[in-house]
Chain A
């Protein structure tokens, strides 16, 4: 895409800057940059290709090439382009030159930055990190050695990283006597492999890197485009603005201590655009509102915001939105919501990914607990076979599998919207895997229900039955959860309720949730897991306390629908009552009683008592 002319206005307005052209016609700031990565099996010629690109585009510092050549001949070693790269890196490490050593090369079209991506399998993490930042890739294959382990693995990874602009370079044509059928057969075989992983290479080019043939200059024996001609025809921008609007909410800010009353939802617009006043929906909670303002610091007021911007919004309604929700347009195509999806996963962790174990999933800005539910097949890059019977995903494996989260998550398919269709898996504090979503799978088997079923089957009972207990205590057991956005209001209602019930002769017990932090939950360190894990433990604890026949009262702020569902499921087979203070009602999660924000606490407790009576939890004549 040509440089957007509107970009220039911001700078040229500035007083007194004369925009000086550098030696390539276009002024620096307005020159395009493109990150490219060169990958392939070790020794297939990556460094040589890079050296050639730099040398033949005239991007090397003056005299550098000669200097390295002289040094080689002094040491009686044949010159290698790889030495050139090493020399540049050394200089960079010593801070002698600035930009050249980052492996820049320039063409009249744009500046290229070559990202370091080591080919050795031990450095795969670095290769993946480098390649994830690239907009285009050159995949180098030795014509004589043919397709090797990392040729395939790297091809797969490029596909997974979403790099669509891929050129295949069949290198060292001199070693096969410029035999074009050799080239054709690699082009065909490798093209087939890439097709299988979803990449259609832009082209395959026979090259001889040492002689620079078809890299920057065309050899007499070849009529196709050179590597550089292709690179210059690549486009930088993906058409992100044309896609449906997606803005994962990264965080919600309210800096009240600085007298700022705005509640700002912050996020990066990944695709599409949105205007003031447009209706938006947050997923997976399905909360809806409209854009009241587009916020920015020290910038002109905007009425529309497009893909690529890290921005902020206020809404027309006071909604409680959690970080991790996906903001979409009510009118546009919505993402999928499911707790099961089919994915291609690449594993880099030292320990394998094991079925059933819990990991942390990071998908756009959402975080969820995830487990590997099924392995459909594992691609073995060494043998180029697929294994359908593997029970775990080992380091450097690529697997097609089904992942299952404990809470439903909102996502798109990777082929539709990349940013919301890819994820990483964290194991033991490290990003250990990355993947792309191929499809959603219906949620018929939930992890939670499985767990509760198994727990109940194994439940060991004492000699005193529930009926006996109820007869003695004169009431049934119940788990009462007071929740709302004000912790203080929740607590006062919950404590009042405990006391009232107790005074009337019932077995009631109030648990302050913070008591768990210093005891039962003191080992839950991971901030991400803390909330979910605390709720899980509370649910399990409630199951035990209600089993003992008590009315177990607690208070907790800001439960969402899934938290409620989790508490209800874990407390099964016993009963639960939600007391919602000053917030929207929530249907379908057990008994609910709503308390208005400023309702008198005593009155509220009375009403709760009534419900308990109606439900036969406590006999009629008391409270």
Chain B
């Protein structure tokens, strides 16, 4: 088995373990390349099916191609697609693009808060109704106790300390210093009432592995990742006001791989196109404690 096959086997094992032990399980799908690989791995793990709902937090500032791509795949792959949002903050325009708050607060409002309350079931969830091909209010308001997230350890510091199964207490708090041990293929699959567990099947993958796998498996990705002819592409996708493209000639997945291998970005972090990371020193760690991934 080569390195990618080993990564795949481990991730599949983790997904199956999560599905086996968590009754209220969901997977976060940001529409980015990582979580799209995760959806693909779920299809591998469950033999063509994705038996858990996919949750997307819609900030309503996402690049429009992302939403179109999400809904196309949801219908094509028969996904149990759910989205949630921070309606109140959007209505009251407590957002950065509206000029009322800084980037980090905007992220906190539209992502962290929306995520927290969508997962807990306190705020409305919208579910893709496959018979109508559109979203309807989801009746199910049960909290999710297992949340599958596509974070990678190589993304930035705080993520390299993660476990595959990482408990969060009822306030979504993550105690980095006191985490449960993980031995061999045994993870934390038991949890006290009121707590929930984040599951990270992609922890060992690197940005390069993700692209290599996308290429090997021919996984469809949002075209925004590719150079559209203007010498620019997105390396990481987010909201349009806060995500910028990087200079790159890569027009296809193989070209991205060559670009990454050649070291063009070897010393530039992947999230460097994300403005909110620059606003405070430990930006992401702060957001993360608040539940943003």
Contacts and interface: CB of A to CB of B under 8 A. Distances in A.
Interface of A: 3-4, 7, 10-11, 14-18, 20, 22, 27-30, 32-33, 61, 89, 92-99, 101-102, 116, 125-126, 128-129, 132, 161, 250-251, 253, 255, 258, 260, 262, 264, 266, 268, 295-298, 308-310, 312, 323, 348, 360, 362, 364, 419, 422-424, 426, 428-431, 434, 525-528
Contacts of A526: 190
Contacts of B9: 268, 308-310
Nearest to B188: A431
B171 interface: no
A159 to B, nearest CB: 14
Interface in B156-201: 156-158, 160, 163, 179-186, 188, 190-193
B127 to A, nearest CB: 15
Contacts of A312: 47
B16 A266 contact: yes
Contacts of A323: 20
Contact of B13 (A3, A16, A30, A250): A250
B270 A98 contact: yes
B98 interface: no
A98 to B, nearest CB: 6
A7 B3 CA distance: 9
Contacts of B17: 250
A20 B186 contact: no
A355 to B, nearest CB: 22
B183 A429 contact: no
Question: Which 7 residue pairs of A and B lie closest in terms of their CB atoms, listed nearest first?
Answer: A93-B157, A7-B2, A310-B12, A95-B156, A95-B269, A429-B190, A125-B181
Interface stretch (B68-76, B81-89, B279-287): B279-287
Contacts of A10: 2, 216
Given A92-B156, A92-B160, A430-B188, A98 B266 contact: yes
Interface stretch (B99-107, B112-120, B257-265): B257-265
B257 A17 contact: yes
Nearest to B254: A17
Contacts of B290: none
Contacts of B157: 89, 92-95, 101
A18 B261 CA distance: 11
A128 B183 contact: yes
B63 interface: no
B267 interface: yes
Contact of B190 (A27, A96, A360, A423): A360
Contacts of A360: 190
A14 B188 CA distance: 39
B13 A310 contact: yes
A7 B261 CA distance: 18
Given A251-B16, A260-B49, A323-B20, A33 B158 contact: no
A11 B253 CA distance: 13
A434 B252 CA distance: 47
B215 interface: yes
8 contacts: A10-B2, A11-B216, A29-B2, A92-B160, A95-B272, A98-B266, A297-B48, A434-B183
Nearest to A270: B185
B259 to A, nearest CB: 10
A526 B217 CA distance: 38
B271 interface: yes
